[in-house]
Structure 1
Amino acid sequence: MKIRPPVALAATAALAAAALAIQPPTPAAAGDRPSSGSRAVLEEYMADSWRSMAAMTDESTGLPADNIGGDLAASSRSGYTSPTNIGAYLWSTVAARDTGLISRREARERARTTIATVAGMEKHEPSGMFYNWYDPATGDKLDVFPGGGAIEQFASSVDNGWLATGLLLTERAIPALKHQARAIRSQMDFGYYYNPAEGVRKEPGSDAPVGGQIRGGFWVDPPSGCSVADNYRGDEDVYYTCHHYGSFNTEPRIASYLGIAAGQIPAKHYFGTLRTFPPTCDWSWTETKPTGEWHTYEGVDVFEGTLPYRGHRLVPTWGGSMFEALMVPLFVPEETWGARSWGVNHPLYVQAQIEHGMDEAGYGYWGFSPSNDPAGGYREYGVDQLGIDGPGYTSDQERTSWEQAYEGCPDRAGTPAPTAYGDGVVTPHASFLALRYAPDQALANLAKLRENFDAYGPGGFYDAVAVRSGTVSKKYLALDQGMVVAALGNALAGDSLRTYVSRGALSDKVRPLMEEEVFTTQAR
């Protein structure tokens, strides 16, 4: 997940009523069109959300700010941006074109400006990877955040994954920019992050190899915190994060997919990350004891584990948030390629988030994902029990969590389940991510948020609502609005964004891996 800088960062009654009738979600078929009534709502959301992306963007550089104030005033733009934000603006520009909001010429000129700036931005030349923070008004690499705070510049695997996604999409969607976008993307080597020696623990008694994992990123100069000096490409040492992205169902898998598709990372890496940790006391610091079985794919032993939630069993994310699970399938049709894995897990994950908000916590709303904190700043939100990590992300301001028991481990007897939750924080982008898998529930949830709170402004839904206090974070974030626009673009334009990204090498090399795997996920 991105490390953010230390700064404070007319719906129908029928739709609103539908939120009370929670049914198990069924994914919409590929290419399905919304009904005429819901299409009009989606088109309104799309037009307003695109307005926020355009307002964030400096016309001279084509770079979006990380965030902007709720009034969309240019003076309220943040003075920093990231590779993820830039990728989000590129795909949003194409989505705006494909849904008829802007002309082909305008989309081409907007993307041309952005790509010309990116081509001149400072990066780590041996890997082709970009650093985490730049000035959107100039494209210069930042060494200090606006307002203070030194930056130890870092090349993030996941952030570069989202920039590469935007570039890949642009080169396929805008033929006039094909060569310029490809020239940047072809230099990006995701193998720089791949550690072949780090992977899932083997089944006891097996001599199968590990699949390897990717690091969170690297610094060029030694950072003040933990780092590992190494270089997987044999070049001059960089300083890798001490952690790997070991959890499978999280957003860094976009970098894994791109690396596999490009031949920079071996296919077995798909099976090198964790569905859950194996069910032994070595891992009793995680959420609770998983159940599952061992399978072998591409020569790698994989524990096909799941965690329980209200009678369901599902493959968790790291922290329990929506965007960890569902940002990647905005661009990669995981639930169709992996019908026996993602095709079961994605809709069930949405159902679990709905049940938490509506039934378990009783907020009356749902959709928990990292967002601006209505009390100020930025925070991770999620459903604690849907994450591998023991503490997980929580859904309320009070950080109400539950230490479940880990059967058979004396140090994890557990604590009683919460009997009440506090001021739940719901972010609208989570409902847009769920739109494919639970369209009626997602639209109803958004309608209620708009009707019952001051949650909608000139750029669409504001970033987050604390639903018991009614406090609203009146900000727009490029990352979150980029997810909203991508979801709406797919819904309104026949999955065009997915089509641009997933064809070719991704389909040829990643789809067979998804088709091979079977999760042990089960609905109650």
Structure 2
Amino acid sequence: MTAIISRRTVLATTGALAFAGAGSPAYGGTPAPAELLEGGWVPSRADKALVGRWARDTWRSLVAMTDEKTGLPADNIGESVTNPVRSKYTSPTNIGGYLWSTVVAKHLGIISPQESLRRITQTLTTMKNVVHHEPSGMYFNWYDEATGEVLRVDPDGTRPITPFVSSVDNGWFACALMVVRNAEPRARALADSLLNKMNFKFYYNPAARPGGLMRGGFFETPPPDEETDQGNHAGVGPDVYYRKFHYDTCNTEARIAGYVGFALNQVPHTQYFATYRTFPDSCDWSWVEQKPKGVHRTYLGLDVFEGTYEYRGMRLVPSWGGDMFESLMPDLFVPEATWAPRSWGINHPLTVRAHIEHGLDDAKYGYWGFSPASNPKGGYSVYGVDAIGMDPGGYPSDLEATNYDAGFEGCREGVNPNPAYGDGVVTPHAAFLAMAYAPRQAIDNLSKIEKNLHAYGGGGFYDSVAVKSGLIAKRYLSLDQAMVMGAIGNVFGENLIRRSFASRTVESRIRPLIAMEQFESGVA
């Protein structure tokens, strides 16, 4: 396989502001140790020019998605950025992604400080005035990007919906507000006026498990087609109607809602350890992809099974689907590898290595990087490295939806432990997320995707491409483009997004918590 950078180099890239001098401010203003820079990757002039072009084109797609009057980005557009056809819906996540992308665009010199302030102020002013759940300060899942009105019909236009208030979507929007308040001081008061109303206690259910779990979200009024739990965990305002599911695994994008709850001092730290690293290793859980191995440790009085999955000689904590989005998007904001070197500092580089080895050595696609995205055949699908995910249905890495299943040792035989893969689907934003951990490999991989697969247009990389057939999903998704901008901002902007998110107060409320844990991740 292409050699991945060492863990020490990983920490140099992520923890010491990759292109800053040794005395540059790290998270919370702490000086970056000079020794972390030794052996760290340094981009060439050609690297900077190439990634700079990618950033400018990606920003062009985000501008094309954004309504000129409301400042709200559409969820997606087609391939044209000069005559964009917008989706007519957006979400708090999309809006947050546009905000932090604007911060990156200003930092990289793509737009002026004046334009940055105008765009951010326009968007935040719209959000201050849209209808939302006022007792919690939270926003509904779907809005019309052209009017700011709450959608009461599903985005595909097929059925009426009851507006939903998602914990994860509001978590990403809150992250964006936290970035804006530090990166754009002239908009701080406006960002604070929204952030200070957001109460993540509404999602925290202390009775879900020992330590408590975060709910998926709630409705303001009861939906006619879904059974809900009536209640109010925050004790503020009237009861809401909770969806019955909780987020009970650790390595998913949903951990961002807990992080924000910790940062705002609204959710107790026990919530972090109440989530599963893997499900237990008993036959009661044999429906998942493989039997985990691990040890039990106690944190904050809670028993945690530090389970891991095996893939190609690596042991790592799996995500639900084995994709980059679940594992690495929270790391755009929380410098997990630096703050938690015995857990995420080992697991994140191994996740990237697993994606590289899967694409190049296992499935032999010649390319790598797998994450939920547009399907080259149409619609939207999930993609991942199935072997490092728990989902028994699998997040496949190809169009054929090839499912890996190793079985559950001592409980059931595997149905497909040695799959033959087909037409692999790579998603460029996944490679950008990996750039903080394998910058040379990520840039080379993306260059090949552009040059050989031609999955590139006026707005940057298209959302996905099938490597054998050459089918391309020629559209741009605002979330995926925002992940691209966030990743570039961190790797080429001195950890811009992380250091803007991680104030001293935020660091004091998250770093000691995640630093105490030790995963069983490693290389056999």
Question: Which residue number corresponds to residue 493 of structure 1?
Answer: 493
Specify the alignment match of 1:133 in structure 2.
142
Stretches of 4+ aligned residues off by more than 6 angstroms: none
Equivalent pair of 1:25/1:437 in contact (CA under 8 Å): no
Report the CA distance between 1:31 and its aligned residue: 1.3
Q: Flag the 1:294–1:104 CA change in 2: closer, same or farther, 3 A.
A: same
Matched, 1:93 2:102: yes
Out of 357-366 and 469-478, give the one that drifted further. 357-366
Provide Cα deviations, 1:380-425, integer angstroms capped at 9, x if missing partner: 111111112222211111111122221222xx22224244111111
Decide which moves more: 512-521 or 236-245: 236-245
How far 1:227 sits from its partner (Å)? 2.6
- Residues 407 and 417, structure 2, Cα contact 8 Å, conserved in 1: no
Which AA in structure 2 matches 1:21? Answer: T
The question of whether the paired residues in 1 share the 8 Å contact of 2:374 and 2:380 is answered with yes
How far the C-alpha of 1:222 sits from its partner, in A, is 2.4
Displacement of 1:451: 1.2
Matched residue, 1:231: 232
The answer on whether the counterparts of 1:361 and 1:421 sit within 8 Å (CA) in structure 2 is: yes
1:31 alignment partner AA: L
Map of 2:54 onto structure 1? 45
Report the residue type matching 1:286 in the other structure.
Answer: V
CA distance in 2, matches of 1:112, 1:451: 38
- The aligned runs of 1:209-248 (5 Å cut-off) are 210-223=210-223, 224-234=225-235, 235-248=237-250
State the alpha-carbon separation in 2 of the partners of residues 226 and 147 from structure 1: 23
* Aligned counterpart, 2:161: 151
Give the CA deviation at 1:365.
0.8
Q: Find the aligned partners of 2:6 and 2:111 in 1 and give their Cα distance.
A: 33
Q: Which amino acid aligns with 1:462?
A: Y
Q: Partner residue of 2:202?
A: 192
Aligned to 1:179: 189
- Using the aligned pairs only, state the percent identity: 52
1:252 equivalent among 245, 251, 254: 254
The answer to whether the 8 Å contact 2:215/2:247 transfers is yes
Q: CA deviation at 1:225?
A: 2.9
Task: Give 1:319-398 correspondences, 5 Å limit.
Answer: 319-398=321-400
| Secondary structure in 2 matching 1:177 | helix
SS at match of 2:160: coil
Kept in 2, the 8 Å contact 1:400–1:418? The answer is no
* Cα offset, 1:228, TM superposition: 2.3
Q: Which amino acid aligns with 1:288?
A: Q
What residue number does 2:317 align with?
315
TM-score, normalised relative to structure 2: 0.92
> Contact conserved, 2:64 with 2:84, CA < 8 A, in 1?
no
Shift of 1:146: 6.3
- Do 1:56 and 1:74's aligned partners in 2 also have CA atoms closer than 8 Å? no
- Given that 2:76 and 2:478 are in contact with CA atoms closer than 8 Å, whether structure 1 keeps it comes out as yes
Instruction: Report if the CA contact (8 A) 2:132-2:139 is conserved.
Output: yes
Q: Once the 2 structures are TM-superposed, how far is the Cα of residue 279 of structure 1 from its aligned partner?
A: 1.0
The residue identity in structure 2 corresponding to 1:127 is S
Q: Is the 8 A contact 2:462 2:472 kept in 1?
A: yes
Contact 1:195 1:212 in 2 (8 A): yes
Cα contact 1:124–1:131 (8 A) shared by 2: yes
Structure 1: distance between partners of 2:115 and 2:4: 42
In structure 1, the partner of 2:89 is: 80
Aligned counterpart in structure 2 of residue 283 of structure 1, from 258, 282, 285: 285
- Indicate the larger mover: 32-41 or 483-492: 32-41
2:141 & 2:75 partners in 1: Cα distance? Answer: 11
CA deviation string 1:304-324 (max 9, x = no partner) = 111111111000101111110
User: Does 2:24 match 1:32?
Assistant: no
Contact persistence 1:79–1:146 (CA under 8 A): no
Q: Which whole-Å CA distance do the structure 1 matches of 2:448 and 2:99 have between them?
A: 31
Q: Distance in 1 between matches of 2:68 and 2:222?
A: 36
Deviation at 1:74, TM superposition (A): 4.4
Give SS of 2:349's match: helix
The superposition leaves residues 78-105 of structure 1 with CA deviations (integer Å, 9 ceiling, x where unpaired) of: 1000000000000000100011111111
User: 2:294, 2:140 → 1: CA distance?
Assistant: 39
TM-score (norm 1): 0.92
Q: Determine the C-alpha separation between the residues in 1 that align with 2:479 and 2:338.
A: 25
Q: What is the root-mean-square deviation in Å for CA atoms of aligned residues?
A: 1.4
- Structure 1 CA distance, aligned partners of 2:191 and 2:504? 16
Letter in 2 for 1:385: A
Give, in angstroms, the shift of residue 54 of structure 1: 1.0
Partner of 2:40: none
Greater CA drift, 96-105 or 144-153? 144-153
Matched, 1:271 2:273: yes
Q: Quick one: distance in 2 between partners of 1:21 and 1:301?
A: 38
